[in-house]
Amino acid sequence: MKNSKVLALKYRPVVFEDLIGQKIITDTIVNSIKEKKIPNAYLFTGIRGVGKTTFARLIAKGLNCLNGIENLCNESLCENCKSISNSNHIDILEMDAASKTGVEDVRELIEFSRYGPSIAKYKIYIIDEVHMLSKQAFNALLKTLEEPPQYENGGGLKFIFATTEIKKIPITVVSRCQRFDLPRVKSDELFSYIKEIKDKENGNISDDALKLIVKISEGSVRDALSLLDRAILSTEKNKEMDLKGAQKIFGYFDKSQLIDLFSFLFEGDEEKVLDIYRNIYYQGIEPKIFLNDFLEILYYFKNIDFLKIESTNFSLNDEQFNKIKNLVKNVDNQTLILFWQFTINTLDEMNIVTNQSLSIEMFLVRIMHLKSISNSSKIKNDNNVNISKTNPSDEKLNKNASNYSYLNNKTIDQIKNIVQEKNIKQNIEIEDSKKEQFSIKSLDELIELCNTKKEIHLKYELERNVNLVSFENGRIEISFNEDLDKEFIKNLSNRLFEWTNKRWIITLSKKTGNISKKDFIKKNKKQDLEDAKNTNVYKKIVEVFSDAELINVEKEE
């Protein structure tokens, strides 16, 4: 049955030494277990398939292996390691937070944690995709995370969290964990790894095809193994899968075609450009994939002088790398940057057009026109933008610069020369200097200014969720309640800088501070009601109208 597993499971690491691309993190964790300096909770974050859940299981084995961390089980597993590898150990609970997000689920865990482990030394909770837990569930975990129970056998409770979206986890939880950010696995290391597995599985796949798998997987080991599995199953007996075969299976095309397209693009040969694109499209390549690869090659054109072939992550071979280097000698950076901007804009258009392929063809024609304009001799148009005269090879695309006046609005803005940009910047600075600057001396003045400037959300937060500790010129110290908006401090800092033309320091204090503006008004209103009820006028009214009720008091100015 073991051999029937998919490669990602069949070759899942069983000891720390099997992990690839994470040596520093591996050494840190192993050393902490050896020195018995084990944190209450581990937090692993990174893209899919780089080893988050694998690390969690290896830590569980390292803490509970009967042979100790120095002799962690490899081939012949002890009872604890065997059960952990099979995900059925009674003291190691693996939970998917995507399916159990509520506070009640967490409370059950906490209640269960009171009882010591049955056969292992440490009871361990592994929670995958932990960012899916609700806010209340996270809050319920805090106390147990900080002070987990200790058991009579000398062990304790350990949490291991895994997530792909670290920003969604409250900072109060992150600060109670030992955090590890797992990087993408480097291309050359991943290539050596899947090549070794290919040999073990007797796969007949060329190195160029394996490099394509590495590129598509984007540093994810699981993705690389899944693609390798698919490639091995797709390979005919006694026939090697080459790069073209792999490109066909995985929906990728030969980058040489795209580089040829660029060469004709720079020459202004519309017919050949469209022929190459249509050939790529008929291979089954989606327009969005084409545009993303177009951007990638465009990046190499722009930065080829600063790159080595190894830094292209197997996207280019030697021949393609050198061809780009030769082509780019006759192309200026302004043209490449303009191409990049138009490609990004076309990606946005893909979401609103029905026939995306036709949109790509028009995109290619448009950027050929842009190339003609950006290369030209100085011709003034209505917007006073300098445009150059077309090179002889581009005459058929540049009959007259005025024919391209439809580009004046958006395109011309993108090819303004440096002098114009400098003038614009100076004008902006002059305008900024003319802006009215405000002096803010108290919280009340700040709230009033928010009201004047229509910053209603800031005004709401200042009145309801902020407790003032101190207010000085350029410095505000506050405490706050749990309803305060997470973006409040950033938004307030930006507005204060805009209104006063200086940076303010906003600090969070452990002191209680004054009650909020809203609570202060409520308190005063309640006191006014009590005072009014003690007046003779109110008492006489109640004597006449026994069911009368005082609901509001307004003071005369």
One DSSP character per residue, 197-265 reads HHHHTT--B-HHHHHHHHHHHTT-HHHHHHHHHHHHHHPPTT--B-HHHHHHHHT---HHHHHHHHHHH
Asked whether residue 174 is assigned to any structural domain, the reply reads yes
Structural Rg of the chain based on CA atoms: 33
Instruction: Specify the pLDDT at position 364.
Output: 92
CATH number at residue 397: 1.20.272.10
Q: What is the pLDDT of residue 431?
A: 53
**Residue 110 CA: distances (Å) to CA of 61, 140, 143, 483:** 22, 9, 10, 26
Domain region containing 344: 255-414
Asked if the model's pLDDT at residue 199 lies above 70, the reply is yes
What does the alpha-carbon distance between residue 420 and residue 431 come to, in Å, rounded to a whole number? 17
Question: pLDDT per residue over 127-181, tens digit each?
Answer: 999 999 999 999 999 999 999 988 887 788 999 999 999 999 999 999 999 999 9
Q: Do 34 and 145 fall within a single domain?
A: yes
Same structural domain, 75 and 135: yes
How far apart, in whole angstroms, are the C-alpha atoms of residue 462 and residue 516?
A: 8
Q: Is the pTM of this model over 0.85?
A: no
**Better-scored residue on pLDDT, 307 or 139:** 139
The verdict on residue 514 lying in a domain is no
Listed residues 250, 274, 299: the one ending a domain: 250
Q: What angle do CA 57, 61, 66 make, to 5 degrees?
A: 165
Helix then strand then coil, % of the chain, to nearest 5: 55, 10, 35
Looking at the structure, tell me whether residues 313 and 391 fall in a common domain: yes
Question: Running DSSP on this structure, what letter comes out for residue 397?
Answer: T
Which tokens is 193 given?
């790894």
Specify whether 123 is located in the same domain as 229: no
pLDDT greater at residue 26 or residue 73: 26
Is residue 527, in this structure, part of any structural domain at all? Answer: no
Distance CA(393)–CA(372), nearest Å, equals 10
Distance CA 373, CA 375 (A): 5
Element (H, E) at 10: helix 7-10
pLDDT for the residue 310: 67
**90 half-sphere exposure, CB direction, 13 A CA radius:** 8
Res. 526: pLDDT tops 90: no
Query: Which of 250, 276, 297 finishes a domain?
Result: 250
Say if CB 26 and CB 16 are below 8 A apart: yes
**Residue 311's closest CA among 413, 412, 446, 215?**
215
Distance of alpha carbon 185 from alpha carbon 49, whole angstroms: 10
Element spanning 517, H or E: helix 517-533
32: CATH: 3.40.50.300
Give the span between the Cα atoms of 89 and 77, in whole angstroms: 13
Same-domain status, 241 and 263:
no
Give the DSSP letter of residue 462.
Answer: H
Confidence band, pLDDT 50/70/90 cuts, at residue 55: very high
- Banded model confidence at residue 492, pLDDT cuts 50, 70, 90: confident
Contacts of 221 (CB under 8 A, 6+ apart): 8, 20, 21, 49, 50, 51, 185, 190, 193
- Are 141 and 201 part of one and the same domain? no
Q: What is the pLDDT of residues 254-305, one digit of tens each?
A: 778 888 999 998 888 899 999 999 988 887 788 888 898 899 889 988 888 8
My answer on whether 7 and 65 are in the same domain is yes
Euclidean distance between the first and final Cα of the chain, in Å?
A: 87
Please compute the mean of the pLDDT values over residues 475-482 and round it to a whole number.
Answer: 83
d(CA 220, CA 46) in angstroms, rounded, equals 10
What is the model's pLDDT at position 152?
82
d(CA 433, CA 521): 38
Domain co-membership, 395 together with 276: yes
115 and 218 within one domain: no
The DSSP code for 156 is: B
Give dist(CA 253, CA 339) in Å, integer: 21
Q: What is the structure's pLDDT at 410? A: 43
Domain closes at, from 472, 490, 508: 508
In a domain, 199, yes or no: yes
Contact 161, 127 (CB under 8 A): yes
Could you tell me the two tokens for 295? 């951007």
User: Given this model, what pLDDT does residue 39 score?
Assistant: 93
Q: pLDDT digit string (tens) for 59-82?
A: 999 998 888 888 887 766 788 888
Contacts of 136 (CB under 8 A, 6+ apart): 102, 103
CA distances (Å), 75 to each of 15, 72, 85, 539, in order? 10, 10, 12, 90
pLDDT in tens, 353-380: 888 888 999 999 988 877 655 554 333 3
On whether residue 539 sits in a domain, the answer given is no
Residue 478 pLDDT exceeds 80: yes
- Domain presence at residue 65: yes
Separation of CA 61 from chain center? 31
Do residues 145 and 243 share a domain?
no
Counting residues of the chain whose pLDDT is more than 70, the rounded percentage is: 85
Q: Give the C-alpha separation, 156 to 123, whole Å.
A: 6
Task: Kindly state whether residue 67 falls inside one of the protein's structural domains.
Answer: yes
User: What's the mean pLDDT in 449-458?
Assistant: 84
Stretch 314-342: mean pLDDT: 83
Task: Report the domain count for the chain.
Answer: 4
Contact assessment for residue 381 and residue 408, using Cβ atoms and an 8 Å cutoff: yes
Q: How far apart, in whole angstroms, are the C-alpha atoms of residue 451 and residue 459?
A: 7
Same domain, 269 and 403: yes
**β-pairing verdict for 92-96 and 505-508:** unpaired
Q: Which CATH number belongs to the domain containing residue 230 in this structure?
A: 1.10.8.60
Give the whole-angstrom CA distance, residue 57 versus residue 47.
18
More confident residue, 20 or 512: 20
Same domain assignment for residues 232 and 94? no
User: Does 326 fall in a domain?
Assistant: yes
Euclidean distance between CA atoms 289 and 296, whole angstroms: 11
Structure tokens at 152: 């009579």
